Structure 1
């Protein structure tokens, strides 16, 4: 029977955490699913940026309907990127890709 080295276990755990979480000012944020193809992730990030910008613009204008619409875009993009919802690392890669592609279709449909 072999005993595992606690230092190796901590390093392995740390490596997994580094891939899954980003810490900014002590707050932990879920990272984007690294298995997503670059073009899909890029398109989702574009929608995310437009959504975030839309939230700010709508808030400044006092337009609660537009705030709600922009937040919907942000939520769809973050779910597609794996940053919200079920942890991406606990799901099969194929399922994650289907989710990302569906989110992208839904976001593109918002543009008409």
Structure 2
């Protein structure tokens, strides 16, 4: 696995930072459609930056945000147990700290 996923499946970790996973309750067809839309929106961001079109870039960033919210990666959390959203927090500063320390020691070179 390229990036470790927290035991509860809510986040993956990149360079020590937690990033919210997509909602696992999405059916495969919907998830696939949303991922396709996300990639299209990200390409639009790239193209707008290359052409220095700030209006198009803003619209493309908005499209990325809307799709990420639909995926459950941003906006309201997709779990219902009342746990806080720790998206973008450093793993070592969260309740996942001991888990993160353990996996860091078990991976070659740490994480």
TM-score when scaled to structure 1? 0.64
* In 1, Cα distance between equivalents of 2:47 and 2:17: 26
How far apart in 2 are the matches of 1:29 and 1:50?
A: 21
Distance in structure 2 (CA, Å) of the matches to 1:65 and 1:90: 37
CA distance, structure 1, for counterparts of residue 59 and residue 80 of structure 2? 30
Higher relative contact order (CA 8 A, sep 6+): 2
- 2:13 pairs with one of 15, 20, 23: 23
1:45 aligned to which of 35, 46, 57: 35
Deviating above 4 A after TM superposition, structure 1's stretches of 4 or more consecutive aligned residues are none
**Max radius of gyration: which structure?**
1
Bigger helix fraction:
1
For 2:37, what is the secondary structure of its paired residue? helix
**Residue segments in structure 2 that go unaligned for 5+ positions in a row:** 1-5, 82-111
Deviation at 1:15, TM superposition (A): 2.0
Whether 2:70 is the aligned partner of 1:84: answer no
